[in-house]
Structure 1
Amino acid sequence: MKYMLIMRADDTAYAQMREADFAEMLETVGRFNDELIRAGVLLAAEGLADAAEGVVVDHSSEPPLVTDGPYGETKELFGGFYLLNVASIQEAVEWAKRMPITGPGFKTEIRRVPTIDEFPQDNEWIKRERAWRESTGQL
């Protein structure tokens, strides 16, 4: 099963990260990533650029409203993710407990990623997506 480990942090945690030694942080995260790779569970992992570089498209109005970051009343921001292929949510939790960047203000949200097999296979859009995944080697 696929699980996404979503790294979230508040303003205090982001400030702490900005003060950390970047080379040391890369070493720490690199060792963790290497463990995931050696265990055969890592499918993808990415960090995100600063929220100030992003935008929000709010669909509560027509036309949608586009707002530049940083975001007004956000208490926590999504800073990156790991996508793991593990046997259970319990295994995903165990990996999340070992996250290398921790402390006050840091959290990891874990969400299961449903597979295409869980959707109605007779649906035309599911058939098209399955064909695309097969043609790109993603199935």
Structure 2
Amino acid sequence: MNFSNEFKTALTAYLFVATPFFVLIVVKILSGRYEDILLTGDWAIASAMMFSTSYFNVKNALNHANDINKVGLDLYLQVTLILAFISIAIYVVLLLQPKNYPAAVAQALLFLFATINFIKYSRLTYRLKGGV
């Protein structure tokens, strides 16, 4: 297993998706709007992007894999879609109720989970496409 190339591929994909989000966070820091860092819906949008990108990447990579338990991956794909929809729902809640701290914390935790999920399944995509 060439872990180095596998991880580099995953990190490259992650940076492509997450960089605009991090730029928005830096802008909020520089503008002194620290509370907006947590209360903005940017976390939820970034999470939805990562979940949906993971979904489509794995779905497309399955075309390259023959000897794999696709039932288990189908479950993963459905859970990933549900998490993307939950992220969008949290975004809408924060648009309608801008000072909703439980939703803000939930979206930050979901972002952390989306990051881990994205790296993990980007590596899977690399493997399914024959990168190992």
TM-score for the superposition, normalised by structure 1: 0.28
Bigger-Rg structure (1/2)? 1
Greater strand percent: which structure? 1
Greater helix percent: which structure? 2
